[in-house]
């Protein structure tokens, strides 16, 4: 499986934007980039995903580098509720492993009031 690398931790202040980076230099052409987050004492929850183009949804934006070797999850205005572990995950488009999520260590995001 292609691997992702994320910083162990990041900090932000409430109401400020947060940019969470992810490196995936061995990504294959058909891998989708997914982001999940895990709030304390909860299961992971989906945030956003993309293939090549930048993506926006109600939770966040995903900026994907032109060579696809890195991506950035953008939380436009962090709230205390956004404090979580954020995982950047590559998902194969086909084969038998399409459904598998390979979690790395993720980035622990701390949001200060």
- Of residues 27-46, those binding other proteins (CB under 8 A): 32, 34, 36, 41-46
To other proteins, the closest distance from the beta carbon of 1 in angstroms equals 10
d(CA 85, CA 48): 14
The answer to whether residue 68 forms part of the interface with other proteins (CB under 8 A) is no
Cβ distance 64 to 52 under 8 Å?
Answer: yes
Nearer to other proteins, 24 or 34 (CB): 34
State the Cα–Cα distance between residues 97 and 27, nearest whole angstrom. Answer: 15
Task: Read off the tokens for 81.
Answer: 């509720």
Smallest distance, Å, CB 45 to other proteins?
A: 7
The least distance separating other proteins from the CB of residue 16, rounded to whole angstroms, comes to: 27
Q: Measuring CA to CA, how many Å separate 80 from each of 36, 42, 60, 89, 113?
A: 17, 16, 15, 24, 7
Q: Which is nearer to other proteins, 13 or 57 (CB)?
A: 57
Cα–Cα distance, 79 to 12 (Å, whole number): 9
Selected from 2, 10, 21, 49, the binder of other proteins by CB under 8 A is: 49
Distance in angstroms (rounded) separating the CA atoms of residues 100 and 92? 8
Contacting other proteins within 75-104 (CB under 8 A): 91-94, 96, 98-104
Please give the residue ranges that form the binding site for other proteins (CB under 8 A): 32, 34, 36, 41-46, 49, 91-94, 96, 98-106
């Amino acid at each position: 499986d292609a691997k992702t690398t994320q910083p162990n931790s990041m900090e932000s202040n409430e109401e400020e934007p947060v940019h969470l980076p992810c490196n995936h230099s061995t990504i294959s052409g058909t891998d989708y980039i997914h982001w999940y987050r895990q709030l304390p004492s909860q299961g992971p929850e989906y945030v956003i995903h993309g293939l090549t183009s930048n993506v926006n949804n109600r939770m966040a934006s995903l900026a994907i580098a032109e060579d696809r070797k890195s991506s950035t999850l953008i939380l436009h205005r962090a709230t205390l509720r956004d404090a979580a572990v954020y995982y950047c995950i590559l998902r194969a488009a086909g084969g038998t492993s399409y459904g598998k999520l390979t979690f790395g260590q993720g980035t622990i995001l701390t949001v200060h009031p």
